[in-house]
Amino acid sequence: MVKPHSTSARGSGRGGSLATLLTGMVLGATLTLVLVQLNAASKLAGARPFRLFGPSRLHKVVEHQHYREHLPELMEAAEPHFVLFTSGVSADGSPWCPDCSKSNPIIREVIFAAGGSLLEVTAGDRHEWADRQHPLRVDAQCPVRYVPTLYYWTPAGCGSSIANPLNSDEQDETLRLLVAKFVGQTAAGQRYVDAVTKDIIASGGKACNRC
């Protein structure tokens, strides 16, 4: 009498596992179908694709000749969006521009702490950048007079920028404070911007507790 009961129990367990598996597969297929339909509707409406867990952060380094090709990818990434125009690198792999070498790490630190995305655009070597007709210098929409230059980017294009104060003569605290104020003013309310920039400004640029 015991053995038949035991066999029945095992059979029931297998049946339950199969039912659970099938239920999971149906739910997964349904969720996939819903996401596909939402993305299709968003595309027809001209909106960004729907993401269940939100967009991921982007950090990419590209050459200036092709940077506009990467702007759609930037705009699909986590907000806020920034474009950093910087120098190329020297033989040792570091920026040939001292101001870039000093400022770039701090710019990345603040933007990433705020949850934002960053596209870095290299202006080329020293000789190339010295040309007064460099494409970035003569760009009518988003001119770059100095490197580094940090632009806040929106779906409409380049917005506010900060450039000349970002130089190697400044202390780290001063640079961090400048970048935090710029990010806080241009991207207020987005992601972790308010909390991060408030912390940095309160410390006088000495600390970034959330970085």
- For residue 207, being part of any structural domain is answered with no
Q: What is the pLDDT of residue 15?
A: 56
pLDDT of residue 211: 72
Domain of residue 156: give its range: 59-202
pTM score, whole prediction: 0.75
Spatial distance between the Cα atoms of 12 and 24, rounded to a whole number of angstroms: 18
The answer to whether residues 190 and 137 belong to one domain is yes
What order of strands is seen across the sheet that includes strand 81-86?
A: 59-63, 117-122, 81-86, 149-154, 157-162
Is the domain of 119 the same as that of 21? no
pLDDT tens over the chain, length 211 residues = 444 444 444 455 555 666 665 566 656 555 555 444 544 544 443 333 444 457 899 999 999 999 999 999 999 999 999 999 999 999 999 999 999 999 999 999 999 999 999 999 999 999 999 999 999 999 999 999 999 999 999 999 999 999 988 999 999 999 999 999 999 999 999 989 999 999 999 999 998 777 7
Examine the domain organization and report whether 46 and 100 are in the same domain. Answer: no
Q: Are 137 and 144 in contact (CB under 8 A)?
A: yes
Q: Which backbone phi and psi does 102 adopt, to 5 degrees?
A: -80, -40
Distance, first Cα to last Cα, the chain: 67
Nearest Cα to 94, choosing from 118, 119, 122, 131?
Answer: 122
Q: Are 119 and 142 in the same domain? A: yes
What pLDDT, on the 0 to 100 scale, is given for residue 50? Answer: 41
Residue 41: the pLDDT is 45
Same structural domain, 64 and 48: no
Same domain, residue pair 43 and 76: no
| Same domain for 151 and 65 | yes
> What is the reported pLDDT for 42?
40
Q: How far is residue 20's CA from residue 211's CA, in Å, rounded to a whole number?
A: 43
Q: How many domains does the chain have?
A: 2
- The two beta strands, 157-162 and 149-154, are antiparallel
Does residue 211 lie within any of the structural domains?
no
- Sign for the pseudo-dihedral over CA of 40, 44, 45, 49: positive
Same domain, 45 and 63: no
Name the nearest CA neighbour of 183 among 103, 82, 100. 82
